Amino acid sequence: MKKLPKEAFIHDQRLIQRTKSFFMERLSQELSLLEVQAPILTYQGNGVQDDLNGTEKPVTVQSQTLDKPLEIVQSLAKWKRQLLARSDFDVGSGIITQMRAIRPDEEFLSERHSLYVEQWDWEKVIADDDRTLDYLKDTVEKIYKTMLETDHVVAKATLRDSLLPKTITFIHTEDLMKQYPDLTPKQREQEACKEYGAIFLIGIGGELSDGSIHDGRAPDYDDWTTGTDQGRYGLNGDILVWNPVLEDAFEISSMGIRVSPQVMQQQLQIRGCEHRLNYLWHQQLMAGHLPQTIGGGIGQSRLVMFLLQKEHIGQVQFSVWPEALEVAVL
């Protein structure tokens, strides 16, 4: 076990907490979000659980006092939308939570992948006519503004230069595919982040003109089929930055305008998942009982790891790792 001097440990912990608190406070102000407590469990089979890109399997839990099987949440996209409906939030307002989850289906544990997930999960009510690419971009720019402000705070505290460019660049997955047709999606992200420093990659989950998909996204989650302009589709995306320590593209957030009843039905059909329309949550959406929303998740440890220029996510969070993996533990 590696030892870290007490002074260095205390310094890092205080800086981690300061970074998280500042970012969450500023993001809540920018997007008009109210902090609420997040659940860790959901009932199995009610449709509230998210399957992210469609391959992850949630952790099941059996309670001695409840006769229904439970699952640890993987994200809170559907739960947040239910809460906004139940509490009758106004258009332009929303919620933010500090979600804790376990995702055991990570293909491998690395310097950026942990079984333990902690993220800011946020959701905001929008009007029907806000379901546009312009509204999505405006929201991304507000999030990026908060990232910039947090970067400046950490830069001042650690006597380093700012890491982030002044602006974020918007790129559609279709355009990135055409620019780098011979590269894999991850290699394309690397090239774009290296060039621009920070990008918002639009259109995650939908089929591109060459028949490929840049990356998976659940069909009842974000809108990846609505047409925008010039043959482009999708009202969702990922925020990625260039990580100078890892010398690689680094995902900070996935987000998007959520599915409308019509869009969800279409995307479920594309993925062959029409059976989900029998779930309670999906029936609520189809009946018009859930508001139109925009939302996403922002990785807490990811953002802190990036801003503090750490080499491994294990330096900013406590999790479990293979014995063979050398981790510079806190």
Active-site entry in 75, 114, 253, 254? 254
Which residue type is seen at 99? Answer: M
Active-site entry in 30, 93, 251, 266? 251
Active-site entry in 26, 103, 188, 217? 103
Q: What are phi and psi of 311, to 5 degrees?
A: -85, -20
Contact 328, 314 (CB under 8 A): yes
119 flagged as catalytic: yes
Any alpha helices (H) in 36-115, and if so which ranges? 77-86
Q: Which helix (H) or strand (E) holds 61?
A: strand 60-61
Active-site entry in 26, 49, 50, 111? 50
Contact 258, 177 (CB under 8 A): no
50 flagged as catalytic: yes
Active-site entry in 123, 130, 174, 238? 238
215 flagged as catalytic: no
Active-site entry in 28, 49, 119, 317? 119
Size of the chain in residues: 330
> What burial letters (b/e) apply to 60-72, b meaning 16+ CB within 10 Å?
eeeeeeeeeebbb
254 flagged as catalytic: yes
User: Which of 211, 228, 221, 66 has the alpha carbon at shortest distance from 131?
Assistant: 228
| CA-CA-CA-CA dihedral for 107, 112, 115, 119, to nearest 10 | -130
Which active-site residues does the annotation give? 50, 103, 119, 238, 251, 254
